[in-house]
Amino acid sequence: MVGPSYARRLLDYLELTKPRLVLMVLMTTLVGFYMGSEVLPDYLALVHTVLGTALAAGGTLALNQSLEGDIDAAMERTRHRPIPEGRVQPLECVLFGSVMVAAGLLLLMVAVNVLSALLTAIISVTYLFLYTPFKRKSSVCSLIGAVPGALPPVVGWTAAQGTLGLEAAILFGVLYLWQIPHNLAIARLYREDFLRAGIRFLPVLDVEGRSTGRQAISHCLALLVVSLMPTLTGFAGEIYYFAAMALGAGFLVYAIRLAALRSVTSARHLLFASLFYLPLLFVAMALDRIPV
């Protein structure tokens, strides 16, 4: 029987992997795999893709926490994480995260294909060595961080197809553009926390909120256009097209409200809209796909 101390340690290590973020990574990876599959997917490849991606994503997020212990300690919403509270030492976290990333990449390389493993490695490298340090330097960090955040569906696509293509680029574009208003809303909600930690997200620097509003609107507009491309390029049907148009218009309305009101409430509403938008869009895409 596992004692309380061992159970606590297991929970701490699980927390290092940020399970909710890993779940979102897996959801978008599955969308890419499904969209890139034949009528009947290769279920063994799917299992290997999910396991490899989960290991690499969880390990990358753990390594991120080992690099940002001081930031997490400075913010109210993260100060109770395992490293700030001393329940896990940074070196332990580095070893744990490194083993997970290596295991995930090896599994993808051996059991799926080299391209999927390479893209997953790019996600880890860009997240840890570009996005993470840039958070302390420039508001451009959000644009950089959206790159590794948008690659999981491309990993799923290449796991199913073995190659890249226009469809993979569209999936990347949808997720990249969605992340900007989503992350702007989060940064506006927790602006004081991020300010204390020295993180230079746009809403932290843009006190009046005008630039934040413009960025939210422009990326929602671009997202509306790009989200229609699956139908226009022939790998989703007309039902998806109208669903994407309606969802994109609704998302845009909340971005406009943020730009007009520049309030915490409007940022919260935009965040909720983003959380509804993405799964509904992907469900519509999956239900109305045209098999490759």
What percentage of the chain has pLDDT greater than the value 70? 98
Contact 162, 113 (CB under 8 A): yes
Question: Which residues lie across from 222 on neighbouring strands?
Answer: none
Residue range 35-77, pLDDT digits in tens: 998 877 788 999 999 999 999 999 999 999 999 888 988 888 8
Mean pLDDT (whole number) for 182-210 = 92
pLDDT top residue among 72 and 249: 249
Query: Does the pLDDT of residue 5 top 80, yes or no?
Result: no
Contact 215, 146 (CB under 8 A): no
Query: Does the pLDDT of residue 176 top 60, yes or no?
Result: yes
**C-alpha–C-alpha distance, residues 249 and 255, integer Å:** 10
26: three-class secondary structure by DSSP: helix
Q: Structure tokens of 195?
A: 């300010």
DSSP code of residue 83: T
**C-alpha–C-alpha distance, residues 214 and 179, integer Å:** 15
Closest listed residue to residue 74, CA positions, set 32, 125, 126, 136: 136
Query: Does the pLDDT of residue 1 top 50, yes or no?
Result: no
Rg (CA), the chain: 19
Give the pLDDT confidence score for residue 42 in this predicted structure: 84
DSSP code of residue 236: B
Residue range 121-156, pLDDT digits in tens: 999 999 999 999 999 999 999 999 999 999 999 999
**C-alpha–C-alpha distance, residues 102 and 127, integer Å:** 16
Q: For residue 232, which amino acid is it?
A: L
As its CATH architecture, domain 1-163 has Orthogonal Bundle (1.10)
